[in-house]
Chain A
Amino acid sequence: MAGPMKMRATLGQGFTEVRVLMTHPMETGQRKDSDGKLVPMHFIQNLTVKLNGKTVVDAQISQAVSRNPVFSFRLKGGAKGDKIEVAWLDNQGDSNSTESAVA
C-alpha cells in the first residue's frame, strides 16, 4: 500500500549520514479534495532509526512535516556494512520500513 521508501547511508567525516525518503501524503486534515470534502488526517507519527538492530533515533512528528518526507540523520562513527533500518508508523496504523547497509 505504501509507496516507495528509499534510504542511503554513507560514511562522512566521523559520522554516518542517513538520508531517507518516504512516500506519504502527510494530510493535515485541513485540505479539501476536488469535491470540497475535507481529506481526513493521515500522517506519519513515529519514526525510528536502528543501527545494527538497536534504536538510535526515536522521533514523534506532526502533520506539519512536508508531504513525502525526507529526513537526514547522523550517527556517530559507523563502518561500512553497518545495518541501518528506518521504520515509520502513521495515525491510521499504516507502516513501512527499509533497510540499508552503510556504504
Chain B
Amino acid sequence: MKPIALLAALALTGAAQAQDTAKEIQRYRQMIAEGSPVELFEFAGEELWKRPQGPSNVSLEKCDLGRGPGVLKGAYARLPRYFKDADRVMDLETRLLHCMTTLQGRSEKDAAARVFGTADRPAEMESLSAYIAAQSRGMKLDPGVSHPKEKQSIELGRALYFQRAGAWDFSCASCHGEEGKRIRMQDLPVLYKPQFARPVIASWPAYRLSTSGFITLQWRMNDCYRQMRTPEPNFGSDTTVALIHFMTVTARGETYRGPGNKR
C-alpha cells in the first residue's frame, strides 16, 4: 500500500477507535444512570429537610429557596439568584446554610462544621442538595441575571474563571480552557462555552461512583482550587457562588436532568 494511503488508513483507525471509546463510555454512563444509588441520597435528604433541628427545633420546610417558603418544585433550576433578605446572590448550599441559621437557630459555625462528607457519613448539605435538586428534574436552568448584584456576580465568576493564581499560576481555564483536552479518561469541558457547560451543569450535584459519596458544586469548586494548589475557598463564599453562577448562566436554558452520576 502507498505510504500516504497507509497513513490515512491508520489515521482513520485512530479516529474510529477514539469514537468507539467515547461511544462505549457513553453506554457505561447510560447503564449507570439506569441503575444508580443516587436516589438513596434524595431519600436521605427528604428526611433531613423534614427533621426539626437546632435551638429553634424546627425543620427546613419553611425555607425559601426563591419560589416561596417550602416550595421545592423548580427551586434548584432557578439558582443561583439574588435574595433580598440576605442581600446577596446565593446558590443552593449557601441558601441552605442561611435557612439553617435563620430558621433553625443553628450557628454558622455548627451548621457549616461539616459540609463535605464521606460515603459512610454523607454531610447534611449533600443529602439535602440531592433531594432539592431532584425536584427540578425536567425543568430549564434559569438562574437570576437581571438584578444588579446578579450581574456583578456573573462578571466576578467570569473574571475568576480566567484569573491565574496560586503556586502553579493556574486558573479554571488552565484545564477547562481548550476544546478536546482530557486528563486520562476524563474529558475537560470548556465551561465558558454554552455547548459544553450545558450537559455538565445539568447533571450536578451527583453520586460519585469511585467513592460512593455524593458531591456538590460547592465541593467541586473547593476541590478544583485544592487541585490547583491554591488555598481552598470558604464554603458559600462570594468566590464559589460567583463561579457557580457564571457557569450556570452559561448553561442557561438547558433542561436539568436531576442529580447525576460521576466517575
Contacts and interface: CB of A to CB of B under 8 A. Distances in A.
Q: Do chains A and B touch in the complex (CB under 8 A)?
A: yes
A21 B119 contact: no
A74 interface: no
Contacts of B120: 25
A72 B43 contact: no
A68 interface: yes
A3 B119 contact: no
B44 interface: yes
Contacts of B35: 19, 70, 72
B7 interface: no
Interface string B28-57: 000000011101100110010000000000
A4 B47 CA distance: 10
A4 to B, nearest CB: 4
B212 interface: yes
A21 B44 CA distance: 13
A21 B39 contact: yes
Main secondary structure of the interface of B (DSSP, over half): loop
Interface string A1-35: 00110100000000000010101010000000000
A83 interface: no
Chain B contact-residue range equals: 10 to 19
A21 B36 CA distance: 8
A50 to B, nearest CB: 21
Contacts of A25: 119-120, 212
Interface in A49-64: none
Interface in B199-244: 212
Main secondary structure of the interface of A (DSSP, over half): loop
Contacts of B212: 25, 67-68
A72 B40 CA distance: 15
B44 A4 contact: yes
B119 A6 contact: no
Given A3-B44, A6-B43, A70 B119 contact: no
Residue from A4, A21, A25 whose CB has the most chain B CB atoms within 10 Å: A4
Contacts of A67: 37, 119, 212
Contacts of B44: 3-4
Contacts of B47: 4
Nearest to B46: A4
B43 A70 contact: no
A70 B120 CA distance: 17
Nearest to B212: A67
Given A23-B40, A25-B119, 5 more contacts: A4-B44, A6-B40, A21-B37, A25-B120, A67-B37
Q: Which 3 A-B pairs have the closest CB atoms?
A: A68-B37, A67-B212, A4-B43
Interface of B: 35-37, 39-40, 43-44, 47, 119-120, 212
Interface of A: 3-4, 6, 19, 21, 23, 25, 67-70, 72
9 contacts: A4-B44, A6-B39, A6-B40, A21-B39, A21-B40, A25-B119, A68-B212, A69-B37, A72-B35
